[in-house]
Amino acid sequence: MSTTASATMATAPTSPLQLQPGLEIVAFDSSSQEKQFRVESPDGRHFQINERFYHLLDLLHTPTTMSELAVSFQQRTGQQIPPEQLSALCAQLIEKGIVIIEGQSTQPASPSTPKAYLGMHFRRTILSAERLAPLAGIFSGFFRWRVAVPLITVIVLAHILAFRELSMQPELNLAQFAGPLLAFFMLFSIALHELGHVAACRRWHCPHGPLGFGLYFAMPIFYVDVTQAWRLTRRQRAAVDIGGVYLQMLCVPLALLLYWWTGNLTFLMVILAIDAVVFYNFEPWMKMDGYWLLSDLTGVPNLHSRTQAALLQAFHQLWQSVTMQKRAPQPSPFAQWPNWVRRVIWGYVALSAIIWPLFMIAWLPAMWEAMTTYPALLQTAAVELVTALSQGNMAGAAGQLGALFMPTLLVFGLSFEVKRLGGRLWSALQKRRLPAYANRTAAAVS
C-alpha cells in the first residue's frame, strides 16, 4: 500500500457513518443513458450523481461502519471499491457535510458553490410562498389538456385578430398611447407570468418558493423559486418553464376585448409589448425561460457549464491533433447522451461563441451611455416634477416618476454590479498576498 493510502486509512473514521439528517435522494429525469439521481442537502445544495454513487449513499441511510459499507455495496452492485478509495471518498463526504459520524453534532456546512460574476442579485421577497400558493392554485387547472387546448386556441385567434387590427391603423405614434395604462397592464401580465410558473408546480404537487424581485445583468426582473421542479419529469419541467408565458399570453385576448370596447390604441400596444417580452424570455443564453426550456427538453442540466466543458474538450482534442499527442480520451458526460442531444448542444456551443461577444459589444456601450446620461436626465426630470407638483398636475408628476423609474433601476443595478465585482477583485488580490496554504477551501459538491 502506498504512503498516501496508508495515511488515508489512518485518518478514516472507525465509528459508524450515516447520511446527514434531512438529506434526500430522488430520481432525476435526464437524457443520460445511465440512470441519474439528485441529492438535495438541507442547507440548499443539490447535485447530480450516477447509479453507483446512489447505492453507496443509500446504504448510509442507516449507521454503517466502513467495512460493512464495503461488503454491502459489493453485495448490492456486484462491484468492489478498494479500501483506500472508499476511505478517501467518505472523508470528502464528511468534510462537505453529506455524511456524518454517528454520535457527532449535525451542523451542515454552508453552501460554498462559487457564485457567477454576473447574475441575479439584490433579491427581495415580495410575496411569501404561503401567500402565493392560493393565488396560483386558482390557475393550476389551466394546465390540464382539456382546458389548455381551448385556451391556446383562443390566444392564437386573438393574435390573428389583433394583428389584423394593427394592419388597419394608418400610423402609430407614442402620443396615441396612455403610458400609465400600458405600464399597469404590463405589470399585471408579469404578475400572471410568475403565477404561471407556480401554478404549473402546484398542478404536479411540487413545492415552490416565494415571489421576488431582483436584478439580473443590471436589469430589473421578477422571479419565483421553482428549484424543486427538478424532481419532476422532463415534460412536467418543460410545462413549468412555459407556464409563465402561457398565463401571460391570456392577457392578449383580454387586451383585444378592451380595445374593441374602448377603441383605445394603448391596448393594441399592450399586445405588441407582451409579445416582445415573451420573445425576449425565450432566448436561451441567459437563465430565463428559454434557457430552462432548452435544458429540460434536451435533458441536459447546467447548460452553461456543459458548454464550457464542451469547448474545453474540443480544445484538448484540437491541441492533441496539432501536437500529434496520443492520449487516452478522458471520460465525458457527452458519451452518455443520445446523438441528437449532442448535436443540439454543439449547435448551442457554436451559437454561444457568436452571441455572447456580440451581446457584450452591444451591452457595454449601452450601459456606459446610461450611466453618463443619467445625471442630466435626473436633473431635467426633477425640475419638471417640481413644476408639475406646484401646478397640481398629478398626471405630469406621475409621468416624470415613470420616466425615471427604469433608468434609476438600471443605474442602481450597474452600480451594485460594479461594486460587487470590485469587491471580488480586491478579495482575490488580498488572497494572493497570503501564504498558499491559507487559500485552501473545500468546494461544494457539484
Average pLDDT score over residue span 290-307: 86
Q: How large a percentage of the chain has pLDDT more than 90?
A: 19
* Cα→Cα distances 377→41, 43, 404, 408, Å: 48, 45, 8, 10
What pLDDT does 97 receive? 82
SS3 328: coil
25 pairs with which residues across the strands?
A: 39
Query: 332 pLDDT exceeds 70?
Result: no
Q: Which range scores top for mean pLDDT: 290-299, 343-352, 398-407, 414-423?
A: 290-299
Q: Tell me if 158 sits within 8 A of 270, measured CB to CB.
A: no
Task: List pLDDT tens digits, range 185-230.
Answer: 888 999 999 999 999 999 999 988 899 888 776 677 888 888 889 9
| Letter string b/e over residues 227-254, b meaning 16 or more CB atoms within 10 A of that residue's CB | ebbbbbebebbbbbbbbbbbbbbbbbbb
Q: Tell me if 37 sits within 8 A of 231, measured CB to CB.
A: no
Query: 104 pLDDT exceeds 70?
Result: no
27 pairs with which residues across the strands?
A: 37
Query: 39 pLDDT exceeds 80?
Result: yes
Give the confidence band of 9 by pLDDT, cuts at 50, 70, 90: very low
Domain boundaries, the chain: 3-101, 120-298, 303-326+334-439
Helix (H) or strand (E) holding 214: strand 211-216
Query: 128 pLDDT exceeds 80?
Result: yes
Give the confidence band of 401 by pLDDT, cuts at 50, 70, 90: confident
> 33-37, 188-192, 261-265, 334-338: lowest mean pLDDT where?
334-338
What pLDDT does 384 receive? 84
What pLDDT does 423 receive? 73
Q: Please tell me which residue, 267 or 328, carries the higher pLDDT value.
A: 267
Query: 170 pLDDT exceeds 70?
Result: no
Q: Is 78 left (phi over 0), alpha (psi -120 to 50) or beta?
A: left
Average model confidence (pLDDT) across the chain: 80
Cα three-residue angle 181-185-187, rounded to 5 degrees: 120
Which of these CATH numbers, 3.40.50.11540, 3.90.700.10, 3.90.930.60, 3.30.910.10, describes 3-101?
3.90.930.60
What pLDDT does 217 receive? 66
What pLDDT does 174 receive? 54
Average pLDDT score over residue span 406-413: 74
What pLDDT does 407 receive? 78
Task: List pLDDT tens digits, range 350-377.
Answer: 887 788 788 778 777 777 777 788 888 8
Cα three-residue angle 285-270-200, rounded to 5 degrees: 55
Sign of CA pseudo-dihedral 361, 364, 368, 371 = positive
Average pLDDT score over residue span 150-164: 95
Average pLDDT score over residue span 338-347: 85
Rounded Cα–Cα distance for residues 234 and 294 (Å)? 11
What pLDDT does 220 receive? 75
Q: Please tell me which residue, 146 or 357, carries the higher pLDDT value.
A: 146
> 3-12, 375-384, 409-418: lowest mean pLDDT where?
3-12
> 149-163, 193-207, 241-255, 345-359: lowest mean pLDDT where?
345-359
**φ, ψ at 123 (rounded to 5°):** -75, 135
Indicate the residue type of 233: T
The set of long-range contacts for 289-296, using a CB threshold of 8 Å and a minimum separation of 24, is 289/241, 289/242, 289/244, 289/245, 292/237, 292/241, 293/238, 293/241, 293/242, 294/344, 294/348, 296/234, 296/237, 296/238, 296/241
What pLDDT does 375 receive? 85
Query: 150 pLDDT exceeds 90?
Result: yes
Q: What is the largest CA-CA distance in the chain?
A: 89
Give the confidence band of 296 by pLDDT, cuts at 50, 70, 90: very high
> 364-373, 379-388, 420-429: lowest mean pLDDT where?
420-429
Cα three-residue angle 289-292-293, rounded to 5 degrees: 80
Query: 252 pLDDT exceeds 80?
Result: yes
Rounded Cα–Cα distance for residues 167 and 318 (Å)? 53
Query: 11 pLDDT exceeds 60?
Result: no
Strand order in the sheet with 36-40: 24-28, 36-40, 46-50
Average pLDDT score over residue span 109-138: 71
Query: 251 pLDDT exceeds 90?
Result: yes
Helices first, then strands: H and E counts in the chain: 14, 8
